[in-house]
Amino acid sequence: MSEAMVQVRNVQKSYVRGKQTVEVLHGLTLDIPAGDFVALMGPSGSGKTTLLNLIGGLDSPTTGEILVGGERIDRLTGGRLAEWRARNVGFVFQFYNLMPVLTAERNVELPLLLTKLSAAQRRKSVAIALEVVGLSDRARHKPRELSGGQEQRVAIARALVSDPALLICDEPTGDLDRKTADEILGLLQVLNREHGKTIVMVTHDPKAADFANRILHLEKGQLLEQATAAA
**pLDDT tens-digit map of 156-187:** 999 988 889 999 999 988 877 888 889 889 98
Quick check: is 8 in a domain? no
**Better pLDDT: 93 or 159:** 159
- The range of the structural domain enclosing residue 122 comes to 36-58+78-228
Contact predicate 216/40, CB 8 Å: yes
Element (H, E) at 7: strand 4-17
CATH number at residue 49: 3.40.50.300
- The predicted pLDDT at position 2 comes to 56
Quick check: is 22 in a domain? no
Half-sphere exposure of 219 (CA within 13 A, CB side): 4
What percent of the chain is predicted at pLDDT more than 90?
50
**pLDDT tens-digit map of 14-32:** 988 888 888 889 889 999 9
Whole-angstrom distance, CA of residue 65 vs CA of residue 15: 17
- The predicted pLDDT at position 223 comes to 84
Q: Which residues are within 8 A (CB) of 210 and not within 5 positions of it... i.e. 6 or more apart?
A: 229, 230
Quick check: is 67 in a domain? no
The letter for the amino acid at 179 is K
| Domains held by the chain: number | 1
Quick check: is 201 in a domain? yes
